[in-house]
Structure 1
Amino acid sequence: MVEWRRQRARLEEARREVETRMSSSGQYGLDDAMSDELSELSLYDNHPADIGSELFERGKDLALRDVDKLRLQEIDRALQAIDRGTYGTCQRCGEQIPAERLEAYPLATLCVDCKRQDEREHPDRDRPVEEAFLTPGFARTRLDGTDNVAFDGEDSLQAVWRFNQRPDYDEDYEYLGQDNELDDNEGVVDDIDKVSNEEYKSQLR
């Protein structure tokens, strides 16, 4: 019980620190609107690259605030577990979590063995949720395996990859392991662009 009192004091101190950060004005740099920070009347006429650095900083500030919100929830769960008398018990196997682990990480809810097993079973848990949504590329507009023959997101990517590739000029070029059969004049908008590399070299002789 004495050890639990010490852990409670550590957790309450950590909770005060997080609450202080969340309540202090300007801690995350989110007090002002982004347009006010940029001294711009409007952001509609700006290319995203023009404010790339500012957008990154705003995203970082939001992430720091969200991390503190999650940490506060973890601290509250640990304090509630102390009140219930379940603090220090592994939520997976029910065994007692070693004191050394709780000393190093007071918010631990799994013992070392269960934590390792959990990481093996869910290796991508700490990855951004957007990755699963966007994998494979253009997953939202991928129509392969359906009866739809529309020009989808994957076709757009393939068109970009094929751009400016010419048969007999890039002989080693392979698209998805297949031979490239392209119209040599695809994308040509001027007659002079139809002159092949071989024709150009023959004119130099």
Structure 2
Amino acid sequence: MWEEARTRLQQMHAQTEERIRTTGQYGLGDAMRDELGELSMYDNHPADIASELFERGKDVALRDGQKLRLQAIERAQQAINGGTYGTCEACGQAIGEERMTANPLATLCIDCKREDEAVHPERSRPVEEEVLWPGYGRTDMDDKDYVAFDGEDSWQAVERYNERPEYAHDYNQIPLDDNEGVVDEIDFVSNEQYRQQLP
């Protein structure tokens, strides 16, 4: 029944192995210092080799992704040999030929897959976003009877440091510092007025 799937899995297995072999495991067979031309990396700050470190991390992810795919293909081949291919691992029902044709590595039927995705959502976004979400919303107490300095107030306080008074945008004016070291609107005079005050 699954002879076409068996052939397709064999092709997928061969392609994946070939990809790992021809890429030299995505360059991980070579020492990182060979890429840099350095005898030692111990004297370098991590920021000095940040691009190379990023590329090495990407190569590890690519290689591991291909190895995981290879394992999934081998599990599917074992399932065909064992007579369990096309059977849902969760509920034991038949997965369905359409789904198996679309995804020969499927191990769950559509209903069980939806349930699994609801319980274990895809991690395409950084896990830190769960902690940070919804931003200042979790500490925004404006609509509650709460008068403490909250997250939104913190942002507003920091944001004030980036505000520029309107008169500062006039490049014909220059600030004159008063004796207290505070520059205010009164201290701004035109270039002509400033030249007249010079001795």
Q: TM-score, normalised by structure 1?
A: 0.62
User: Paired residue for 1:104?
Assistant: 102
> Aligned partners of 1:69 and 1:61: how far apart in 2?
12
- For 1:8, the equivalent position in structure 2 comes to 6
Asked whether the equivalents of residues 18 and 68 of structure 1 are also in contact (C-alpha less than 8 Å), the reply is: yes
Q: What does residue 43 of structure 1 align with? A: 41
Residue 19 to residue 202, structure 1, CA distance change in 2 (3 Å)? closer
Counterpart mapping for 1:13-32 below 5 A:
13-24=11-22, 26-32=24-30
1:120 to 109, 118, 121: 118
Question: Quick one: which amino acid aligns to residue 68 of structure 1?
Answer: Q
Cα gap change, 1:93/1:202 in structure 2, threshold over 3 Å: closer, same or farther? Answer: closer
How far did 1:105 drift? 0.5
Matches within 5 A, 1:186-205: 199-201=180-182
Aligned to 2:57: 59
Q: Deviations over 1:100-143 (max 9, x none)?
A: 1111110000111110010001125x369x948xx869xxxxxx
Deviation at 1:13, TM superposition (A): 0.6
- Compute the displacement of 1:83 (Å): 0.8
How far 1:16 sits from its partner (Å)? Answer: 0.7
* Cα pair distance change 1:202/1:85, threshold 3 Å: closer
Instruction: Please say which structure displays the higher CA radius of gyration.
Output: 2
Given that 1:28 and 1:64 are in contact with CA atoms closer than 8 Å, whether structure 2 keeps it comes out as yes
Q: CA RMSD in A?
A: 3.0
Q: What SS is found at the alignment partner of 2:27?
A: coil
The CA distance in 2 between the partners of 1:178 and 1:25, in whole Å, is: 52
Q: Which moved more, 1:23-32 or 1:77-86?
A: 23-32
Q: How far did residue 95 of structure 1 move?
A: 1.4
Please show how residues 150-169 of structure 1 align to structure 2 within 5 Å: none
Q: Distance in 1 between matches of 2:69 and 2:30?
A: 24
Aligned length in residues: 147
| TM-score, L = length of structure 2 | 0.63
Task: Tell me, yes or no, if the aligned pair for 1:25 and 1:31 is still in contact at 8 Å.
Answer: no
Letter in 2 for 1:41: L
Structure 1, residues 58-101: CA drift from partner, whole Å, max 9, x if none? 11111111011111111111011111111101111111112111
39-48 vs 70-79, which deviates more?
Answer: 39-48
Following TM superposition, by how much is the alpha carbon of 1:24 offset from its aligned partner in structure 2, in angstroms?
3.2
Is the alpha carbon distance of 1:93 and 1:44 closer, same or farther for their aligned partners in structure 2, counting shifts above 3 Å?
Answer: same
CA distance, structure 1, for counterparts of residue 183 and residue 18 of structure 2? 76
Q: Find the aligned partners of 1:52 and 1:25 in 2 and give their Cα distance.
A: 22
Residue identity matched to 1:100: E
One-letter identity of the residue aligned with 1:103: T
1:16 match: secondary structure: helix
